[in-house]
Amino acid sequence: MQKRLGRQTVALERPSVILSHAAVGGKQEGEGPLAAYFDHLSDDSFFGEKTWEKGESAMQKMALSKALEKATLSPEDLDYILAGDLLNQCIGTSFGLRDFGIPFYGLYGACSTMGESLALGSLLIAGGFAERAGAMTSSHFCTAERQYRMPVPYGNQRTPTAQWTATASGCVILGAEGKGPRVTTVTCGKIVDKGVTDANNMGAAMAPAAYDSLAAHFAATGTGPKDYDLVLTGDLGVLGHQIVIDLFAQDGVEMGENYLDCGMLLYDIEKQDMHAGASGCGCSASVLCGYLLREMAEGRWKKLLFAPTGALLSPTSSFQGESVPGICHAVTIEA
Amino acid sequence: MQKRLGRQTVALERPSVILSHAAVGGKQEGEGPLAAYFDHLSDDSFFGEKTWEKGESAMQKMALSKALEKATLSPEDLDYILAGDLLNQCIGTSFGLRDFGIPFYGLYGACSTMGESLALGSLLIAGGFAERAGAMTSSHFCTAERQYRMPVPYGNQRTPTAQWTATASGCVILGAEGKGPRVTTVTCGKIVDKGVTDANNMGAAMAPAAYDSLAAHFAATGTGPKDYDLVLTGDLGVLGHQIVIDLFAQDGVEMGENYLDCGMLLYDIEKQDMHAGASGCGCSASVLCGYLLREMAEGRWKKLLFAPTGALLSPTSSFQGESVPGICHAVTIEA
């Protein structure tokens, strides 16, 4: 019925169709090179709400509403929505989705959530359990800084390896039928922990997970980096991107120029002073739901391998001396 | 292929089999009426670790290891594991699973996680995407108190409506084939928020979600409470349990004596001074993976409707004046 390629990868014989997608971003995202690809940009970091956390929920509401509108669908047309975010207890998602009345499977995959939600949403459709499903996530610079590091008004200094959490949300509406690019394979990641303890160097912590899932995907599907117009990790940034290249080079595999990281695309890193690049669930989600899928619709690329990574730490685990486990979920998207 | 009964419920034409199950608990659980049903009980709230958070991860390790052992399986035999917990960024799960190398979909469903993991695990198997999958969750009184309320050593007073977070973990191994009870239907919950703002009365906040999913399940399957040997919510406690009875009574549906709540079963509420009863992901998980499935194997019950609820709040959302949204995922388990 389904073609299972080894333990982690499924080739979908009933690929799900990306019926629509929407990206919402904040001020920095609006000043970056991908600004024109967003459906909505706000200079107000509160998105009209009284707190940043409520603002993050507002972003998810906007992203979902916009994606539904673009597909001429209403919330009742979705059988499921799969979503999560970085906030403690995923409140960005719970409060963002509260009023929609859509059956909801809550996910926690940290910054891999866009990959995880696309993977599970596609499997639910491929299994015949849904006609249409939403996949969504978000992050917010100010909620993430307050929670993981320091409240923004304290003016905390950032290390050179630090990344900038995107204030952004992305939503995809998947369907069993219709027109649009298709999700054709799904690779589920394993937790990979190589002992990195520097919570200000997420790229280094997550790169081994990206390598692990990408290598598993290549092996299962008998493909390599050159078989994709683009291979994209989610938010490894400049350092993590290079580590993935190095890890594959040790296997004699050249990742080549088609391997990019969304964290290197969202901002003009030099001009916007973003240190190692962008991060957060919203980084890969908004780059996918804005730039990548729009350019794909224009015919620029035919086959993407989208593989966002997540760092499965918390401030508490770091305070207790733990290293940073990572995970990476990958999906192939074909025009 | 699959029988979708309305928008929220799937009747599995390829039901998944519960190949094994294991429950781990702490001191209070060992002093309760279900003590004999646990696979492992520890008087040490640290479970041999240096912190309670690491202790919670240790519980998940034990529960998974024990469940694998009981099914004579190794970690390599699982295609997926679906799990999550209450801790910020679900670190109980990430660090508990880190060394197993099993493809992992991280979930956040708060105290509904045992229902959510059984639901998604069963769908992955029914869809032909997995031969075997694990479903697991945990909670820990001391990690939850520190995170949601006050560190335990402060001696915080508890309100009469408060519940006691179970220090427990439960794990189920699901298989496409084999002997054991079967998961035959899956109902995915919607977020339900009736405006309850008292974060010390989780039962009242979550009861409307239980009512919503149970009513959806009954309508979709054409069944009622009397068609099950037991209908079980997860951790509504004494107050929430009564609210569910009242809500159904308004519809003219009598829940009857077969409707129980795991939060009323785990402890001797009077003798152990547990106020409104037990709560936490580990409550429903350990009651299911200990008492319920063991007694089912003895032939005491043939058909259970297991419907744990989760409260999708965080301390931050409460501080910001938000009410408490709830969700409930339900599965039918038949001998």
DSSP code string of B54-121:
HHHHHHHHHHHHHHHHHTT--GGG-SEEEEEESSGGGHHHHHHHTTT---EEEB--GGGHHHHHHHHH
φ/ψ of B281, rounded to 5, equals: -55, -35
Residue A199 and residue A153 share a domain? no
Same domain for B151 and B73: yes
The SS3 assignment for B301 reads coil
Domain presence at residue B274: yes
What pLDDT, in 10s, does the model give residues A270-326?
Answer: 999 999 999 999 999 999 999 999 999 999 999 999 999 999 999 999 999 999 999
Q: Are residues A170 and A192 in the same domain?
A: no
Q: Among B128, B156, B175, which residue terminates a domain? A: B175
Enumerate residues 42 to 61 of chain A having a beta carbon within 8 A of any beta carbon in chain B. Answer: 50-51, 53-54
For B104, which of A94, A101, A191 is closest by C-beta distance? A191
B215 pLDDT higher than 70:
yes
In a domain, B169, yes or no: yes
Do B171 and B250 lie in a common domain?
A: no
In this structure, the answer to whether residues A34 and A160 fall within a common structural domain is yes
pLDDT of residue A56: 98
* Judgement on whether residues A156 and A7 belong to the same structural domain of the protein: yes
Query: Quick check: B1 pLDDT over 70?
Result: no
In this complex, do B90 and A103 lie within 8 Å of one another by their Cβ atoms?
Answer: no
Same domain, B22 and B168: yes
Instruction: Show the domain range for B290.
Output: 182-334
Residues B136 and B284 in one domain: no
Taking CB atoms and an 8 Å limit, are A89 and B86 in contact across chains?
yes
Do residues A146 and A222 both lie within one domain?
A: no
pLDDT band for position A8 (cuts 50, 70, 90)? very high
Cα angle for residues B328, B330, B334 (degrees, 5° grid): 160
Q: Answer whether residue B8 is part of any domain.
A: no
pLDDT at B132 over 90: yes
Residues B159 and B218 in one domain: no
Residue A156 reports pLDDT greater than 90: no
For residues B182 and B3, which has the higher predicted lDDT (pLDDT)? B182
Of B265, B312, B299, nearest to B284 by C-alpha is: B265
Q: What is the mean pLDDT of chain B?
A: 97
| B7 is a domain residue | no
Query: Chain A contact for B97, CB < 8 A?
Result: yes
- A164: contact with B, CB 8 A cutoff: no
Is the pLDDT confidence value at A1 over 90? no
A144, A175, A206 - which closes a domain: A175
Domain membership of residue B186 (yes or no) is: yes
What pLDDT was estimated at residue A251?
Answer: 98
Q: What is the CATH number of the domain that holds B317?
A: 3.40.47.40
- Dihedral sign for Cα B282, A81, B105, B66, please: positive
- Number of domains observed in the structure of chain B: 2
Whether the CB of B145 is below 8 Å from some CB of chain A: the reply is no
In a domain, B284, yes or no: yes
Give this prediction's pTM: 0.98
Give the domain-ending residue among A175, A203, A224: A175
Query: What are the chain A neighbours of B105 within 8 Å (beta carbons)?
Result: 107, 109, 116, 119-120, 188
- DSSP one-letter string for B27-56: HHHHTSTTGGG-SEE-S-TTTTSSSHHHHH
Q: Is residue B6, in this structure, part of any structural domain at all?
A: no
For residue B239, being part of any structural domain is answered with yes
Same domain? B129 vs B253: no
Taking an 8 Å cut-off on Cβ atoms, the answer to whether B7 and A103 are in contact is yes
Write the pLDDT tens digit of every residue in A183-238.
999 999 999 999 999 988 999 999 999 999 999 999 999 999 999 999 999 999 99
Whether residues B240 and B117 share a domain: the answer is: no
Note whether B128 contacts A124, CB cutoff 8 Å. no
